[in-house]
């Protein structure tokens, strides 16, 4: 069976998912406060790289410390409700991209394995 990365559509799908996700985050009043004054283009590319890596595509060429990266956001109040809201956006975007439900479930399950690190728990 092909990797989740391939089933989702490879690099173009990761780029689209990251782009649409940050568009939604920018408009989401519960989330956008955590991303003020952030370079969205750079952040989007980091997200593409991360998603590609965790879904079985090209691997990051360095170790990513999700706790350290997200610790300042957690200190500013980011919590499980915010994590869940991002996950909801990902689900909605994947559905809009006509992704199979089983692949959406697999993607969210994979992302969920990083929740404790992202929330520094």
User: Residues within the annotated binding site for heme?
Assistant: 70
User: Residues within the annotated binding site?
Assistant: 70
Cβ(77)–Cβ(22) under 8 Å? no
User: Taking the CB of residue 23, how many other CB atoms lie within 10 A of it?
Assistant: 14
Please choose, from the candidates 49, 55, 41, 44, the residue with its C-alpha nearest in 3D space to the C-alpha of residue 21: 44
Cβ(14)–Cβ(64) under 8 Å? no
The residue whose two tokens read 């994947």 is: 94
């Amino acid at each position: 069976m092909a990797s989740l990365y391939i089933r989702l559509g490879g690099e173009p799908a990761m780029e689209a998912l990251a782009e649409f996700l940050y568009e939604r985050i920018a408009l989401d009043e519960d989330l956008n406060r955590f991303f003020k004054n952030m370079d969205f283009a750079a952040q989007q590319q980091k997200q593409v790289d991360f998603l590609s890596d965790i879904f079985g595509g090209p691997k990051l060429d360095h170790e990513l410390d999700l706790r350290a990266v997200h610790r300042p956001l957690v200190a500013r109040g980011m919590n499980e409700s915010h994590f869940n809201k991002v996950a909801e956006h990902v689900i909605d975007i994947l559905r809009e991209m006509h992704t199979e439900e089983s692949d959406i479930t697999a993607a969210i399950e994979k992302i969920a394995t990083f929740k404790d690190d992202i929330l520094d728990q």
